[in-house]
Structure 1
């Protein structure tokens, strides 16, 4: 019985991917063609070619650079799960999580992944929060009855992850310090106020739109 259900789920996912893939391919082809036409009119074909090669090299370097970060934080996430830390933190934030994500069952692994992602974002860890966000979305997809469209919980998580209250914008502070700023931490207060406002606006908008869509 389980194998039949799993095969049906796989078929649904493949059909959804087959519907989306042609449209994505068309968009990418149009973007490439438009870029080439504009470059040709401006006489900058060589610059476009060089930029493509440079960015392809950078993409590979970025992927290899992220492997270590992903491995580290996914490993820490697993250790935290086994030690019961994720469960304890999730319990402390249970009231907030239940308000934000009403359709996620209590004590579901998605709550722990979402909680850890929010904490990582609040500490301004940047790319370190990405693997936790991916794990959270995978857990939410397991609860999704319609695999080809996002649930309310997915939309809410995306809003919170994108706006992200920043207690300590560590990544930005580090970049400012590297760039030679005389006071790289002066943005902390402003960033906190701005991200609180953006997160509150996003949550309110998501809650209102959930009632209509």
Structure 2
């Protein structure tokens, strides 16, 4: 559906530009944006490689394991059914830990594994359990200790202080995660 929306917007934008006699400006803008996009992506790839390396060092040094040990008791309280199963809880902990450290690529396989494990525990097949819904909310609104993607984008676009986003990101993501958990817990009583 989103592809159709984008196509319609681009098509009508070009059509209006051609009708109003701005075809030359459209061509220049398209060519200029391609060049800018390629330069941006090259800068972003380098920065993402750097952050992935930093996070790999954190993983090898045991930082992610220490963080997961801190999270496990908290998540046992938050998740009802999944907390009783070590495989499900382990995948949830690793997903949230990876997300907190900005390792989105590493978090995805753990997220898929966590959903599979929770689906195995689910009594109503084909319908998301409360734990599955809560996990989805936590996965989307996870607390970001190191928002590496945003830092990389800010650096690639020439920000004077790309790391200035860290404290606001921690505050905003903590509020979002807390609001998400509270909302899920309230709605679980009614649905």
Aligned to 2:129: 151
Quick one: distance in 2 between partners of 1:163 and 1:202?
Answer: 7
Compared CA separation, residues 200 and 33, structure 1 to 2 (3 A):
closer
Deviation at 1:43, TM superposition (A): 3.6
Give the superposed CA RMSD.
Answer: 3.6
Name 1:176's counterpart in structure 2: 154
Q: Hey, what does 1:13 align to over in structure 2?
A: none
| Residue 133 of structure 1: aligned partner | 111
Q: TM-score, length-normalised on structure 2?
A: 0.65
Residue in structure 1 matched with residue 43 of structure 2 by the alignment = none
Pairing 1:188–2:160 present: no
CA distance in 2, matches of 1:38, 1:196: 37
Gaps of 5+ in 1: 1-27, 48-75
Distance 1:33 1:90 in 2: 41
**5+ residue gaps in structure 2?**
17-25, 27-55
Total equivalences in the alignment = 152
Change (3 A) 1:182 1:138: same
Tell me the distance in 2 between the aligned counterparts of 1:118 and 1:34: 32
Is the 2:102–2:145 Cα contact (8 Å) retained in structure 1?
yes
Aligned match for 1:113, one of 58, 72, 91: 91
SS in 1 for 2:74: helix
In the alignment, which residue of structure 1 is the partner of 2:182? Answer: 204
User: Is the Cα contact below 8 Å between 1:113 and 1:132 reproduced in 2?
Assistant: yes
Give the equivalent residue in structure 2 for 1:50: none
User: Any residues of structure 2 matched to 1:33-182 within 5 Å, and which?
Assistant: 39=11, 43=15, 92-182=70-160
Instruction: Measure the CA separation in 1 of the matches of 2:9 and 2:150.
Output: 37
Distance in 1 (alpha carbons) for counterparts of 2:106 and 2:137: 18
8 Å contact 1:90–1:111 — kept in the other structure? no
Shift of 1:179: 1.7
Q: 1:31: Cα distance to partner?
A: 7.0
- Which region of structure 1 is more displaced relative to structure 2, 119-128 or 186-195? 119-128
